[in-house]
Amino acid sequence: MTTRILARTPIDPDHASRVPPRLGRLHAVGGAPEPPRLDLEAAARELADADAERVVAWAADTFGDGLVLSTSFGIQAAVMLHMATQVVPRIPVVWVDTGYLPAETYRFAEALTSRLHLNLHVAQAELSPARMEALFGRLFEGDADALERYHRLRKVEPLERAFRELGARAWLSGLRADQTGHRAGLPRVGLQNGRAKVLPLLPWSSRDVHRYLQAHELPYHPFFEHGYASVGDWHSSRPVGEGDANERSGRFRGLTQECGLHLELSPEAAQSLDSSGL
């Protein structure tokens, strides 16, 4: 088991994230050499109906050492962790630890890291939870703007810093189209913040997830047994009910269904990341 805490990385003033991304070209990230031009739209069309394992293999062949995997160690996290490591056993796995995760998540992460021999990189905010609350209050209890600030401080900035340090050109994520309206509109292969984003499980249903977990004798997160279809921080997750629209209806007190990790940064947000010295 390899667990690495990612430290602060000074920003390169010529960092390619300052260049507006254009579809079909991946910009250099974290000082990495400029990658070859790649038609992501064509790749998305070609892989739209492909098996998830084939999509992972394509990403590994295409991006090599520039490919990373993100995980939340959420309810169904074992699927992507297992699938990706079958193809790329030492793929860097980035986990954003907000400091507010349930104890069960930390134990679940430890168990999967050991079982799957994950090359785990733990990304954390520079502000501890106690310091953040002392300076800004309990942002996660505030309105939508306060919640957005919380997500930026504790999730988006640490993830971007991790990607830059690892020189990530592309990342695998286990998003599914049936989880939210935003995710339903995503391509199987796309571009986010200057990096290719590859979604092998995008067309999968919860039944597909269940079948894969059973076939490989993999566990759900312990909260699955308590009615949770999605789990993140302890303060922003609840079980889903019969009237809920989708798996993520139990997140963020109904203010949003996305935490910012899977959204393109606005120019203002990108500038904020640059000015923060990440």
Residue 199: pLDDT over 50: yes
117-153 pLDDT, tens per residue? 999 999 999 999 999 999 999 998 889 889 889 999 9
More confident residue, 21 or 87: 87
Structure tokens at 117: 């021999």
Residue 28: pLDDT over 90: no
Closest CA to 30 of 94, 73, 88: 94
Structure tokens at 99: 């400091």
Residues designated catalytic: 259
40-80 pLDDT, tens per residue? 999 999 999 999 999 999 999 999 999 999 999 999 999 99
- 260/160 Cα distance (integer angstroms): 11
Each as own residue / partner, the long-range contacts of residues 134-139 (CB below 8 Å, 24 or more positions apart, any chain) are: none
pLDDT of amino acid 239:
74
pLDDT of amino acid 232:
83
> What are the chain's domains?
2-8+21-275 (3.40.50.620)
pTM, two decimal places: 0.78
Range ranked top by mean pLDDT from 22-26, 82-86, 186-190, 270-274 = 82-86
Sheet with 2-5, side-by-side order of all strands: 2-5, 119-123, 92-96, 67-71, 170-172, 195-198, 189-192
pLDDT of amino acid 231:
85
